[in-house]
Amino acid sequence: PTPANTLLLQSFEWHTPSPHPTTGQSHYVHLTNLLPSLVENLGITHLWLPPGCKANDPSGRGNGYDCYDLWDLGEFDQKWRRETKWGSKEELMVLLEKARELRVEVIWDAVLGHKTAGDEIDLGEDGSGVWAVEVEGSDRHHELCPPKKIHPWLKFNFPGRLNPSNSNPASTFQWNATHFSGVDWCDREKRNAIFKLISDPATHPRPNPSQLPFPIPGRWAEDVDQSNGNNNYLMFSSIDYTHPTVRSDTLSWSRWMITTTGISGFRLDAAQHISRSFLRDFIATSVSTHRDHHAGKDPFIVAEVWTPEVANQNTFLDGVTPSPDVLVRVFDTPLLNNFARISADVVSSSPNADLRTILLNPSDPAHASLVSLRPTQAVTFVANHDTQAGQSMETPISPDLKVLFYAFILLRKEGTPCVFWGDLYGTQGPHGVGPACQVPTGDGGRSTRSLLPTLCLARNLFAYGEQRDYFDESGCIAWTRAGTWDREGCCVVLSLGGRWTGKRMWVDRGRGERWVDLLSGRRVSVGGDGWRVFEVKGRGVGVWVREGAEGVGRF
């Protein structure tokens, strides 16, 4: 049988409340209750959970990205509470059991690049501080002062987890300044800056007086993104993966997560800031562990690599893939940028608005989408918690165009699409909006409904088989999916124009039959030769399937 299409759901947005304001339930409990309908009505196969390790602020302002202790999943009384923002470990395990029951694979958001909120100030071996040099934020090679001693909060003792009441801790490793490469706070000076941690300057080589000064040796990883001179440092306390104990403990954590919780993979947060050689080892460890415990099946590994240039993602993938038989994925940020570019052109009424450039603009090949070059390694998306309004990577997309872009990622053969919680259920916070892809209902426009659930279900039921593209007009593109012996296909039309338009396309299965648009309910007859003009209203989407296809009655 043809396997069902993969569909990943990001199960949170930046302002997701937990506990839920109406039920008082944690987000884990809310997801457990919601999961059966997500599978049945949307065809969700993979669930991306938020970072669920103990954070500096378990009440939630950092959503878990302010990671304190990887080994505490809401089990120990640390940072003023036992559970994480998202719930307790017990609630997490119930959610994971429900996911296994429904055959949903759960992806864990792994924050591996930094820690925050150490338990004590590290004053070094002699009690006077830790050697560091302050560097420029926009150029980490530019040092702003001579070496000096700082007082960083870099002792992580985990007193809530490593105490006599916990007789068999999963990890006994306690961290100090030697395990980090940089930090953003000096308690002695009571100020924020980027401090590169260094060894005692007395041990450094002396430059020849006739030579230019060279940077003081530090612990920045070199195999990282090279923006800002060196982008190893992102925030908080940056972890040094050249330290063997740090490396060993984090690899042990990956094995522990897979074997004790049953998760099916990782989303690697801020991966471009982490040593690629370490990530290669982390991925290899995760793959071998998952294969051992899941009958040879590979985990789902996807990395966050923010860049407009696909070459940077290619470099990353080549650097972290441990062997040719391992599939590592990356979120396709160049494709997202193409969506935003087309949206901006439409909003400004620019003549450059061209759907044919959605994958690759011939005049700008550096910004080609990853899915056009490495389709199996691209996770495609329209929005996420970083791109929503008010966030660090805010990416404006016109609300009436989101339905086009979601249809594009959900109904095509290439890529693994990810649906954003905020687009499915709306976002909270100061810039909160309702669910995306809204269209008027049949009551004269007094109310609306979202087409996003419909598109998700259409992917589950009808987006199968070989693909034929009709990318011959700037304002209207289309494609057909031929179906397989046991799965149905479809015809999809996207239009930027202001009026009804159509695309003449050929279908093999369904000749001489009636076809229906799942989004509007309109019906047409296809000629015996298989040709038909499939229409769509202006700035809209049409998803046409055989009227007699199994599952049409669900729309």
**In contact, 196 and 230? CB cutoff 8 Å:** no
How many other CB atoms are there within 10 angstroms of residue 548's CB atom? Answer: 12
Tokens standing for 11? 């199960």
In terms of phi and psi (left: phi > 0; alpha: psi -120 to 50; beta: otherwise), the region of 16 is beta
Which residues, including other chains, have CB under 8 Å from residue 100's CB and lie 6 or more apart? 262
Mention every residue, 6+ apart, whose C-beta is less than 8 A from residue 211. Answer: none
Structure-block tokens of residue 129: 């501080």
Residue 35 identity: L
Q: Which residues are catalytic?
A: 269, 304
Dihedral sign, CA of 289, 294, 297, 300? negative
Q: Are 55 and 66 in contact (CB under 8 A)?
A: yes
The torsion region of residue 65 among left (phi > 0), alpha (psi -120 to 50) and beta comes to: alpha
For 162, residues 6+ apart whose C-beta sits below 8 A from its C-beta are: 169, 172, 174
- Show the tokens assigned to 109: 């958001």
From first CA to last CA, the distance across the chain in angstroms is: 24
What is d(CA 554, CA 545) in angstroms, rounded to the nearest whole number?
A: 13
Tokens matching residue 269: 């947060």
**Residue type at 508?**
D
Under a CB-based contact definition with an 8 Å cutoff, are residues 467 and 510 in contact? no
User: Tokens in use for 334?
Assistant: 């160049």
CB 456 within 8 A of CB 464: no
